Amino acid sequence: MKLLVFIALAAMPTLSSKCHKSQKPDEYLQGKVIRISCASYIVQVLNNNSIGEDGWKDQSNNNAQYDNVFNASNPCKLPGGIKAGATIKFKISPSKGNDCITCMMYDAPPAVKYDINDLSVVGN
């Protein structure tokens, strides 16, 4: 009986833990722009493995698979001229409702969304 109680107590931390992807406030992230369309702005985080969706497949690029990707929920507030493949430095915040108009095309973006703030291009 004591052995059962011991096993149950030992297993509790493992069973109750969850994988939370989060960001420390005021931390700049570095990312790569994967795809920009009228419906989505997909970014892969390069310097923090705890942010974004893992195993996302880009259906418009032969199902190329990416980890740590998210869809920018505020594409209208991002600077123009940035192209897919660009390396960017930015901050994120939780997705807020906005008045950004995007097309109704469904291009299978990642389910994870964040607002991008303080964006600058590091390289192409």
List, for residues 85-121, the tens digit of each pLDDT value. Answer: 999 999 999 998 778 888 889 999 999 999 999 999 9
Helices (H) and strands (E) in the chain, counts: 1, 7
Asked whether residue 71 is domain-assigned, the answer is yes
Asked whether residue 50 is domain-assigned, the answer is yes
Instruction: Retrieve residue 78's tokens.
Output: 């991002």
SS3 state at 91: strand
Asked whether residue 62 is domain-assigned, the answer is yes
Which residues face 69 on adjacent strands? 44, 53
Q: pLDDT per residue over 17-67, tens digit each?
A: 444 455 455 589 999 999 999 999 999 999 999 999 999 999 999 999 999
pLDDT of residue 48: 96
pLDDT of residue 11: 54
pTM: 0.77
Asked whether residue 11 is domain-assigned, the answer is no
- Is the predicted pLDDT of residue 77 greater than 70, yes or no? yes
Domain total for the chain? 1
CATH of the domain at 105: 2.40.50
- Which residue range(s) make up the domain with 117? 26-123
Asked whether residue 59 is domain-assigned, the answer is yes
Query: Are residues 75 and 32 in contact, defined by beta-carbon separation less than 8 angstroms?
Result: no
Asked whether residue 1 is domain-assigned, the answer is no
